Chains A and B, each alone.
Chain A
Amino acid sequence: QITLKESGPTLVKPTQTLTLTCTFSGFSLSTSGVGVGWIRQPPGKALEWLALIYWDDDKRYSPSLKSRLTITKDTSKNQVVLTMTNMDPVDTATYYCAHSGTAAAGLYYFDYWGQGTLVTVSS
């Protein structure tokens, strides 16, 4: 059974750096074709893809946010960490991590999602 859970601060101040951790179980991020991504959703707005890291440490970032994002993995801990610098109130959103298991087959979708964590940016 695949599960993912996001953790991190619920409140950050403007200009601070946000660090979110995705802790997962039921799969290994060293298995070929597997990836873990981050997606966010501001209140009442659409989903926005942020970043994704693959089993081979290949990383992809949203072009519009690339300069602010860093994604890393710790295979031994079954964790993926996303950092976002220079936080702004517009970054207030629910942040989700999600599993993708089919990249090796050329299929790029998320089949398992975490419950999400709401991050508020405010002074």
Chain B
Amino acid sequence: SYELTQPPSVSVSPGQTARITCSGDALPKQYAYWYQQKPGQAPVLVIYKDSERPSGIPERFSGSSSGTTVTLTISGVQAEDEADYYCQSADSSGFWVFGGGTKLTVL
């Protein structure tokens, strides 16, 4: 079955740039999406179609894609960005999949 691989954790200091990667064989052909989840809350979409930002999401959140890896970049990280981040995609058969999640810690 299709899998997406993320690093378990990323740590950055406030004001620095955080980069969270997500790897999957189908990513060159399928878009990736990113969600932010804070404790006790439902996930929130922060990036769609690899690099598009939904309305209401701060400009410091951006996405990019290169081959089998997509990257969520958070520029000028703030304390409020501390959360779990999940990538998600779908394969050519229409099966959806989430990555294992990355815990972003703001030091």
Contact = CB atoms under 8 A, between A and B. Distances in A.
Given A52-B96, A60-B96, A47 B86 contact: yes
B95 A60 contact: yes
B45 A47 contact: no
Interface residues of A, number: 23
Interface in B88-102: 88-90, 94-101
Secondary structure of the A contact surface, majority rule: loop
B42 A109 contact: no
Contacts of B89: 108
B42 A96 contact: yes
A107 B48 CA distance: 8
Choose among A48, A63, A106, A109 the residue with the greatest number of B CB atoms under 10 Å from its CB.
A109
Interface in B52-76: 54
Interface of B: 1, 31, 33, 35, 37, 42-45, 48-49, 54, 86, 88-90, 94-101
Interface of A: 37, 39, 46-49, 52, 58, 60, 62-64, 96, 106-111, 113-116
